[in-house]
Amino acid sequence: FASAVRRMLRFTLLGLAALLCVVATTRAEVYTALAEMEELLETESVLISNLEKYIRAQEDKLSYLKNKMDEYQREHSDAAGDITAYVSNPINAYLLTKRLTTDWRQVENLMEHDVGSEFIQNLTQYRSVLKFPSDEDLNGAAVALLRLQDTYQLDTSSVARGKLNGIQYSTAMSSDDCFELGRQSYVNRDYYHTVLWMNEAMSRMQEEPHNQTNSFTRAEVLEYLAFSTYKQGNVESALTMTNELLQLLPNHERANGNKKFYEKEIAQLQELRKMKGDDGSDAMPVSDLPVTKSDPSVFDLTERKAYEMLCRGELKPSAAELRPLRCRYVTNNVPFLRLGPLKLEEAFMDPYIVIYHDALYDSEIEVLKRMARPRFRRATVQNSITGALETANYRISKSGWLKTHEHSVIGTVVQRTQDMTGLDMESAEELQVVNYGIGGHYEPHFDFARREEKRAFEGLNLGNRIATVLFYMSDVQQGGATVFTSLRTALWPKKGTAAFWMNLHRSGEGDVRTRHAACPVLTGSKWVSNKWIHERGQEFRRPCALAADHGDFAI
């Protein structure tokens, strides 16, 4: 029965995928904000309820659907206790997305070949009123989980068991879940992760009960592994796996073709080795020139290493850099602050980076969240050539913009920002509220526009971004730090705090040392808000100095 179901699902997958794609055009990018992921559990709750009714009516015939319903209910019950905590875990977020894409598609396909027309009709109605993830969301959730695995050096088998950095957060992934993660990697031509997760799928399949139904076969795993191993440059292993596949399916047309290709490749490699010198060196020397990078989203490997080490907490400032740092109460010459001075903690001296504690109250945070949620859109970056705003895979979050006059709380926060910075808020951008998605991150970047970015902030006529104030609106259990790669400094999210630094020297030149990044969120939901302050109106608040400019800013 299981094999018949699997064949039935494959035949009807393309047709149903077309139906889902229609919905996907308006439902995509759920994965870019955890706040929206929470709504998926509501969707799953409705689906489970209807599926339960359907199963009661067809229990004798549809044992497959009954098993699926039990599986969904178990997972949903775990999530219902604390929805936010559940979707904050990237493994649960991936599994939830997978259940509502590939798994539910299988259920729908089976029902189309039986007496499930009434339930299908209900699903069609639900898709117009409930939030459903798309295939893009599934791929985004998978990529996010792999990003976390790489950044935090997580062991594949540990992640599959539901452990993140040694802490058990969720139920273990099934072999099907691992296979899908490997397949998504393959679709993205990420052959390194394809091999990792296809091997894990194979391992878990062998551990699972023999009567358990899988959506894949050992032969399918071997085919993915063979080609991915070949793409990684190991032709011999690819041939070995292909031969193993042909023992299972001797008439596999593609495998037979690949075998001939791999054998030819190996023969050519052996011939090439004979043509090398006695020392086995290559005939052509390898160039030691640096690789030209045309993609602005690609950053130097040295910086990437520093970025990932900072995210893991393995890189810290030197003792000499930490020694002069102090904490103190400040009034910044603001009369109002004499009644309640600000709590300032120095994070770095040059450039001067500080953290203000108790800069936001819980009640203010809730107001900002409530106002921003309906306005959430995928966060964008500015194209350095055209000046246009566009989405990028190196910034995974959603944001909403709040005007100062819209609520008294926003006005209070903006005034407090002025008191903290000593800068005029008339030339500041609107308050941006951001919620990061699954494994949400923002790779190293500058907040200011560089000389070559001629069209940056076009239309604002406010000059460059002179300063940044970043409010942390939530605690994050693991990950999510703001790191300054050249300074070896990390600022860890703490609810209610605010980080402040100047992006420009007093001369107006950009301070390249302020290049920073947002580390991927491993567990937890990261909420921040930021205020970007521009040059115009700051001439007398932060004038150019007669002496050499070192980008200092004294409070």
- Most confidently modeled range among 109-118, 128-137, 349-358, 506-515: 349-358
Whether residue 124 sits in one domain with residue 229: no
Q: Render pLDDT for 208-228 as a digit per residue (tens, 0 to 9).
A: 887 677 889 999 999 999 999
The better pLDDT of the pair 72, 351 is held by 351
Within a domain: 301: no
pLDDT band at 9; cut points 50, 70, 90: very low
**In terms of domains, do 506 and 456 share one?**
yes
Q: How confident is the model at residue 61 (pLDDT cuts 50, 70, 90)?
A: low
Same domain, 146 and 239: yes
Closest by alpha carbon to 66, among 105, 98, 110, 117?
110
Q: In this structure, are 55 and 139 located in the same domain?
A: no
Beta strand spans in 288-429 (E): 327-330, 342-348, 353-357, 377-378, 381-382, 389-390, 397-402
Q: Is residue 62 part of a domain?
A: yes
Between 20 and 496, name the one with better pLDDT.
496
Q: How far is CA 552 from its chain centroid?
A: 34
Q: Tell whether 292 is covered by a domain.
A: no
Name the domain boundary from 129, 150, 173: 129
Q: What is the pLDDT of residues 295-354, one digit of tens each?
A: 444 456 589 999 999 999 999 999 999 999 999 999 999 999 999 999 999 999 999 999
Instruction: Say if CB 342 and CB 331 are below 8 A apart.
Output: yes
Q: Are residues 123 and 142 in the same domain?
A: no
| 548 is a domain residue | no
pLDDT band at residue 387, thresholds of 50, 70 and 90?
Answer: low
Residue keyed to tokens 């001075």: 341
Clarify whether residues 336 and 442 are in a common domain.
yes
Amino acid at 213: T
% of the chain beyond a pLDDT of 70: 83
List the strands of the sheet with 327-330, edge to edge: 327-330, 342-348, 353-357, 498-502, 465-472, 527-534, 431-436, 397-402, 377-378
What is the per-residue pLDDT across 232-280, written as a single tens digit (0 to 9) for each?
999 999 999 999 999 999 999 999 999 999 999 999 888 877 665 444 4
3-class DSSP assignment, residue 537 = coil
pLDDT value at position 276?
A: 56
**What is the domain-level CATH number for residue 157?**
1.25.40.10
Residue 91 within a domain: yes
Do 64 and 201 share a domain, yes or no? no
pLDDT in tens, 424-482: 999 999 999 999 877 878 889 999 988 888 777 877 888 999 999 999 999 999 999 99
Q: Is residue 509 packed enough to be buried (19+ CB in 10 Å), middle (13-18) or exposed (0-12)? A: middle
> Do 521 and 552 touch, CB atoms closer than 8 A?
no
Q: Assess whether 95 and 217 both reside in one domain.
A: no
Separation of alpha carbons 232 and 229, rounded Å: 5
Q: Is residue 546 part of a domain?
A: no
The CATH number assigned to the domain holding 501 equals 2.60.120.620
| Residue type (1 letter), 343 | K
* Claim to verify: residue 359 and residue 433 sit in the same structural domain: yes
The residue from 129, 162, 190 where one domain ends is 129
Residue 210's contacts (CB-CB under 8 Å, 6 or more residues apart) are: none
Domain endpoint, select from 87, 107, 129? 129
Return the closest-CA partner of residue 368 out of 201, 242, 498. Answer: 498
The alpha helices in 58-82, defined as continuous H runs, are: 63-80
- What's the whole-model pTM score? 0.77
What pLDDT score does 23 carry?
Answer: 37
* Amino acid identity for residue 15 in this structure: G
For residues 116 and 232, state if they share a domain. no
The residue assigned the tokens 């052996």 is 270
Could you give the number of structural domains in the chain?
A: 3
In a domain, 41, yes or no: yes
Q: Give yes or no for a contact between 471 and 360, defined as CB atoms under 8 angstroms apart.
A: yes
What residues make up the domain containing 82? 34-129
CA distance 310 to 419: 31
Placement of tokens 């689906």 in the chain: 47
What is the end-to-end Cα distance of the chain in Å, rounded? 74
Same domain, 385 and 409: yes
Instruction: Give which of 93, 92, 214, 102 is closest to 162, Cα–Cα.
Output: 92
Based on the fold, state whether residues 419 and 333 are members of the same structural domain: yes
The predicted pLDDT at position 2 comes to 43
Evaluate whether residue 281 is within a structural domain: no
